[in-house]
């Protein structure tokens, strides 16, 4: 059992598990926080951004001023944004047999793995995961490709140079590994390697292990995975939720009796309760709009946005906002809204029942129908004709570095009437806002993260009782900014084993059993002997045949026929010779009776000594010792073979043979 930890991000995990003879990659999340170090990509020429001064070193050197720009005391790389990939050096990724994906957020690095490492295996994921994952990738590629940037900065990555830079650039890890975004053909190639699976479907991997996805309750099609053999069970919990939102509820029962439970993807904001945050979101939205301001919600095109729209659907009438337009702008907006309505089997019970009425499961259909919600692929085209203020705009990317959101930040940033409300927890909102400073618009941080919190985790662990828990190191201590909150960490017995990026863990579990089949004809030939009531034993002589990780005991080949010809046998035909088998012995020797027997057979001077492990029977005259212990009997006599044989036979009389 080994776990190679390729990502240090607790909610964007990438681990490789070596289990029996298989190599399984669990998720391949892409850490996009690296993009926060780059300047935003404006959709239209931004005079403000283009006029930012180049960064000058303390000693006045200006060789970096083309690559690095300064904005309100922060330094940004002026280049196409790059992403921090999972570790690729820790093990040879071409040896990975399968990749299991748990949700669409955790597959964003897939093209880097499947297209660059020589990977030849299969990827397993549910259908909504693949479809929505594709949308996310498409949006990402589209946002970056439609704003081509001639310049590509690399000088700053030089280790010597990086050391001279201000934080956070100075502390950025593995900058040499940062890569530009993949392309659509790479996305398509990667997605073509995915095999679709359904919840509770059992997938055999090389006969050695079986993997099964379970509903995790976090997003459409999100799953936890069970990886098990006949005698071992590893559960992989990644991004799960117990709240009642739109997806199917989490399957907890199937996680029981795990030997090892790998726990990732807990809430990133453990102190914020999602209900309170939704309330905060609505209140701030209403206040801004009532004052004549616009609201900008940087978000992903799928996920929490469905719940927010549902919440607003109930709220807008009561808050007197019925006439305020809601815009959803994303190259995949239409597909996202429509996909959500067709994955009925992956939805929670309430929404599933709506489908049979038949009604659309999500109320955003009605918002669209009544023209309250309008969606556009981008700000160009129809949107500019329809655009009315004050309004509410949902658009990506939550990092504020690319996508249509950049345009709205530039447009609305100068007025204090407007508000930007952050709901995605993946990026620090202050870092995201840094290149837009100074900013007049109001900023509200309402991170909505429905993944498990620590109270729920502790209940879950009590419920499913795994033998060992493995988790990212961040979960084993309180958050750095709130070191007194000892309630915000995993508390279990035995303590959880933690991992960090680029670490190889030996999982605390030893394999002890393997299942072997016995062929019927071999089974027929066995003669069990009852040695204790209820326990029978039989000796087996057989050949162990192993193929495709299945082990079978077969009858030994017949003894070789005498050679029919004098032709010399080929060495390879040689079959191991079967010697006549000695019987196996069992039972114990009652000392008193044994002594009586010895006396009957003429040994008169028998003495018995008790030892720590058994007895020693002394035959003084014959200068012979018989050591009787629980698991061995020794006859020690000098060169008197007939005596030894005689004594041996007397000992054997007390034992059972088979």
Partner 1 sequence: MTRECALLLPGVCAALADPRQPGLDDTCLEKLLDWFRSLTWFDPTVELVQDNPCLPELITSVLALPEPSPSILSFTLQLAGILASSETRFQHLQEEKLLGRLFGREGPRGGAAWEEASVRSAWVKGVHSMVHHQPALHFLCTMGGMDVIFALQGDPSLFVASAASQLLVHMLTFSLESETSKPLSTKDCDWPACAQMIIKHIEESLQSSSASHIEQSLKLLTSLFGSCFGSCYAAWTEVLWLDIANQIESFLLEDTVKAQHVLANLLLNVARSPVFCGTEGSFWALVTSALEHLTPLQAGPLAVGLLKLCKCPQDVRIQALTVLLQPMDCILRAASQPLEYAGLLDESVSDPVTVESLLSSKTSCAGLLCQTLAHLEKLLSLKHLRVDLPCVSLLRSLMTILQFCNGFLSPTSPLGSTISRNLINCFRVQKSALDVLAALSEKKGCDTLIGSLFDVLLAYLQSPNTSPTVLKKTFQATSKWLVHLQELSCSNSQWQQTEKILEDVFLVLQKRLCSPCWEVRDSSLEFLTAMVKCLRDQKEFRQSLLSSEVLRLTENLLEDPESYVRASAVTAVGHLALITYCAPESPVIGNPYNKENTVAKLQEILSTDSEGFPRRAVISIFTKWLREGSGQLEDTEQFVSRVIQTVEHDLDWEVRLGGLELVEVFCSQTICQLSPCPYAPVSSAVSSPTPQNELLQVFCRAKLFGFLFRSLCDCDKPVGQRACDVLIGLRGHFYPMSTLENPQEIEDSPAGRGIAWLQRTLRQGSLAQNFPTDGGDGVDFQDPESMMLALGAIDLLELHDELNKSSNHVEESPQSLLQDILATMGTIEDNEVDCY
Of the residues 271, 371, 437, 586, which one makes contact with partner 1 according to CB under 8 A:
271
Query: Using an 8 Å Cβ cutoff, are 335 and 377 in contact?
Result: no
- Does the CA dihedral 344-346-349-351 come out positive or negative? negative
Question: Of 162, 254, 283, 458, which one interacts with partner 1 (CB under 8 A)?
Answer: 283
CB 3 within 8 A of CB 497: no
Interaction between residue 290 and partner 1 (CB under 8 A): yes
Q: Which two tokens stand for residue 471?
A: 């988790």
By CB under 8 A, tell whether 484 contacts partner 1: yes
Q: How far apart are CA 423 and CA 444, in angstroms?
A: 9
Minimum CB distance to partner 1 smaller for 227 or for 448: 448
Contact region with partner 1 (CB under 8 A), list: 76-84, 188-196, 482-490, 514-522: 482-490
- The answer to whether residue 277 forms part of the interface with partner 1 (CB under 8 A) is yes
Asked if 482 interacts with partner 1 (CB under 8 A), we say yes
Q: Residue 205 or 373: which CB sits closer to partner 1?
A: 373
Does 284 engage in binding with partner 1 (CB under 8 A)? yes
Closer residue to partner 1 (CB): 284 or 633:
284
Q: How many residues bind partner 1 (CB under 8 A)?
A: 29
Please choose, from the candidates 322, 128, 101, the residue with its C-alpha nearest in 3D space to the C-alpha of residue 221: 128
Question: Under the criterion CB under 8 A, does residue 287 sit at the interface with partner 1?
Answer: yes
CB of 317 or CB of 463, closer to partner 1: 317
Exactly one of 24, 299, 305, 311 binds partner 1 (CB under 8 A); which one?
A: 311
d(CA 249, CA 217): 4
- Smallest separation (angstroms) from partner 1 to the CB of 280: 4
In the chain, the N- to C-terminal Cα span, in Å, equals 39
Does 282 bind partner 1 (CB under 8 A)? Our answer is yes
Give the CA diameter of the chain.
119
Query: Among residues 29 and 447, whose Cβ is nearest to partner 1?
Result: 447
Stretch that binds partner 1, among 366-374, 428-436, 476-484, 604-612 (CB under 8 A): 476-484
> Smallest distance, Å, CB 283 to partner 1?
4
Asked if residue 417 binds partner 1 (CB under 8 A), the reply is no
Given candidates 156, 315, 436, 475, which one binds partner 1 under the rule CB under 8 A? 315
Helices (H), 343-419: 349-355, 364-369, 382-386, 405-412
205 sits near partner 1 (criterion: CB under 8 A): no
CA distances from 377 to 205, 336, 527 (A): 41, 11, 76
Q: Is 286 in the site for partner 1 (CB under 8 A)?
A: yes
Please report whether residue 291 would count as binding partner 1 according to CB under 8 A: yes
Contact letters for partner 1, residues 37-76 (x by CB under 8 A): ----------------------------------------
Do 243 and 249 meet the contact criterion of CB atoms below 8 Å apart?
A: no
Give me the helices (H) in 343-474, please: 349-355, 364-369, 382-386, 405-412, 429-433, 454-464
Within 10 A of 321 (CB to CB), how many other CB atoms are there? 20
Distance between CA 436 and CA 417 in Å, rounded? Answer: 16
Of the candidate spans 19-27, 484-492, 616-624, 648-656, the one that interacts with partner 1 by CB under 8 A turns out to be 484-492
Residues 162, 175: contact at Cβ < 8 Å? yes
Q: Which is nearer to partner 1, 259 or 280 (CB)?
A: 280
Please choose, from the candidates 97, 86, 91, the residue with its C-alpha nearest in 3D space to the C-alpha of residue 24: 97
Exactly one of 6, 219, 278, 304 binds partner 1 (CB under 8 A); that residue is: 278
Length of the chain in terms of residues written: 658
Q: Measured on CA atoms in the order 316, 319, 325, 329, is the torsion positive or negative?
A: negative
551 CB burial (10 A radius; 0-12, 13-18, 19+):
middle
CB 556 within 8 A of CB 542: yes
For partner 1, which residue of 273, 428, 456, 627 counts as binding (CB under 8 A)? 273
List 132, 272, 393, 470, residue binding partner 1 (CB under 8 A): 272
484 vs 567, which CB is nearer to partner 1? 484
Q: Which of 115, 127, 487, 503 binds partner 1 (CB under 8 A)?
A: 487
Out of 27, 139, 259, 280, name the contact with partner 1 by CB under 8 A. Answer: 280
Interface with partner 1 (CB under 8 A), residue from 483, 506, 596, 611: 483
Q: How far apart are CA 136 and CA 219, in angstroms?
A: 14
With contact defined as beta carbons under 8 Å apart, do 153 and 65 qualify? no
- According to the binding rule CB under 8 A, does residue 623 interact with partner 1? no
Stretch that binds partner 1, among 322-330, 483-491, 553-561, 595-603 (CB under 8 A): 483-491
- Does position 449 bind partner 1 by CB under 8 A? no
Name which of 656, 386, 354 is nearest 529 in CA terms: 656
Of 179-187, 272-280, 384-392, 571-579, which part binds partner 1 (CB under 8 A)?
A: 272-280
Any residues with CB less than 8 A from the CB of 487 and at least 6 apart, and which? 454, 455
What is the nearest approach in angstroms of partner 1 to the Cβ of residue 284?
A: 7
What is the per-residue binding string for partner 1 in 320-359, x denoting contact by CB under 8 A? x---------------------------------------
Buried-state track 285-318, b at ≥16 Cβ within 10 A, e below 16: bbebbeeebbbbbbbbbbbbbbbbbbbbbebbee
Q: Give residues with Cβ within 8 angstroms of 353, minimum separation 6.
A: none
Task: Compare residues 296 and 446 and give the one whose CB is closer to partner 1.
Answer: 446
C-alpha distances out from residue 60 to 51, 67, 75, 76, Å: 20, 15, 15, 18
Establish if 485 lies at the interface with partner 1 (CB under 8 A): yes
Q: Which of 319, 542, 595, 608 touches partner 1 (CB under 8 A)?
A: 319
* Binding of partner 1 by 446 (CB under 8 A): yes
Per the CB < 8 A criterion, the answer to whether 198 and 211 are in contact is no
Q: How far from 571 is each of 555, 562, 565, 568, 574, CA to CA, in Å?
A: 22, 16, 16, 9, 5
In the list 50, 188, 201, 314, the residue contacting partner 1 (rule: CB under 8 A) is 314
Nearer to partner 1, 450 or 624 (CB): 450
Which residue's CB is nearer to partner 1, number 158 or number 486? 486
Identity of the residue, 448 or 619, whose beta carbon is nearer to partner 1 in the bound complex: 448
Q: Give SS3 for 95.
A: helix
**Is the CB of 288 or the CB of 335 nearer to partner 1?**
288
Interface ranges with partner 1 (CB under 8 A): 271-273, 276-280, 282-284, 286-287, 290-291, 311, 314-315, 317-320, 446, 482-487
């Amino acid at each position: 059992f080994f776990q190679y930890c390729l990502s240090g991000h607790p909610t964007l995990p990438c681990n490789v598990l070596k289990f029996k003879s298989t190599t399984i990659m669990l998720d391949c999340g892409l850490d996009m926080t690296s993009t926060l170090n780059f300047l935003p990509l404006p959709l239209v020429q931004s005079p403000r951004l283009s006029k930012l001064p180049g960064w000058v070193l303390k000693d006045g050197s200006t060789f970096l001023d083309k690559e690095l720009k300064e904005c309100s005391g922060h330094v940004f790389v002026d280049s196409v944004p790059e992403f921090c990939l999972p570790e690729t050096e820790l093990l040879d990724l071409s040896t990975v047999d399968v990749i299991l994906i748990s949700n669409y957020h955790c597959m964003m690095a897939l093209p880097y793995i499947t297209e660059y490492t020589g990977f030849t295996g299969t990827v397993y994921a549910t259908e909504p995961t693949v479809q929505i994952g594709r949308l996310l990738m498409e949006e990402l590629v589209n946002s970056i490709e439609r704003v081509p940037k001639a310049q590509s900065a690399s000088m700053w990555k030089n280790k010597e140079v990086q050391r001279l830079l201000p934080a956070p650039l100075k502390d950025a890890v593995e900058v040499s590994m940062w890569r530009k975004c993949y392309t659509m053909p790479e996305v398509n190639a990667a997605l073509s390697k995915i095999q679709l699976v359904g919840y509770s479907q059992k997938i055999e991997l090389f006969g050695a292990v079986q993997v099964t996805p379970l509903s995790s309750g976090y997003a459409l099609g999100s799953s936890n995975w069970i990886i098990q053999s006949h005698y071992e069970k590893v559960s992989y919990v990644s991004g799960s939720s117990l709240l009642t939102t739109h997806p199917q509820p989490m399957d907890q029962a199937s996680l029981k009796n795990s030997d090892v439970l790998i726990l990732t993807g807990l809430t990133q904001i453990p102190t914020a309760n999602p209900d309170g945050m939704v309330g905060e979101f609505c209140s701030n939205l209403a206040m801004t709009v009532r004052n004549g301001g616009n609201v900008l919600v940087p978000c992903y095109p799928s996920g929490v946005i469905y719940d927010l729209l549902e919440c607003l659907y109930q709220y807008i009438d009561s808050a007197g906002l019925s006439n305020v337009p809601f815009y959803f702008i994303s190259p995949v907006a239409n597909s996202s809204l429509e996909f959500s309505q067709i994955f009925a089997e992956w939805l929670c019970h309430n929404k599933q029942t709506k489908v049979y009425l038949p009604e659309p499961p999500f109320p955003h259909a009605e918002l669209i129908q009544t023209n309250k919600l309008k969606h556009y692929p981008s700000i160009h085209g129809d949107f500019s004709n329809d655009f009315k203020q004050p309004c509410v705009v949902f658009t990506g990317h939550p990092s504020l570095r690319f996508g249509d959101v950049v345009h709205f930040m530039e447009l609305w940033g100068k007025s204090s009437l407007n508000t930007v409300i952050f709901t995605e927890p993946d990026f620090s909102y202050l870092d995201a806002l840094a290149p837009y400073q100074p900013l007049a618009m109001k900023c509200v941080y309402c991170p909505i993260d429905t993944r498990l919190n620590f109270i729920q985790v502790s209940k879950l662990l009590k419920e499913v009782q795994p033998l060992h828990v493995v988790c990212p190191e961040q979960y084993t201590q309180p958050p750095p900014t709130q070191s007194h909150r000892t309630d915000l960490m995993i508390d279990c017995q035995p303590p959880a084993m933690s991992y960090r990026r680029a670490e190889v863990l030996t999982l605390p579990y030893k394999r002890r059993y393997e299942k072997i089949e016995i062929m019927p004809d071999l089974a027929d030939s066995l003669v069990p002997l009852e040695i204790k009531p209820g326990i029978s034993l039989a000796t087996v002589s057989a050949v162990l045949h192993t193929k495709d990780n299945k082990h079978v005991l077969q009858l030994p080949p017949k003894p070789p026929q005498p050679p029919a010809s004098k032709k010399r046998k080929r060495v390879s035909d040689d079959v191991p010779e079967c010697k006549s088998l000695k019987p196996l012995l069992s039972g114990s020797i009652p000392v008193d009776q044994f002594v009586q027997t010895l006396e009957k057979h003429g040994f008169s001077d028998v003495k018995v000594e008790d030892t720590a492990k058994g007895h020693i029977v002394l035959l003084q005259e014959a200068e012979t010792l018989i050591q009787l212990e629980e698991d061995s009997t020794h006859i020690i006599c000098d060169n008197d073979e007939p005596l030894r044989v005689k004594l041996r036979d007397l000992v054997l009389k007390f034992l059972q043979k088979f």
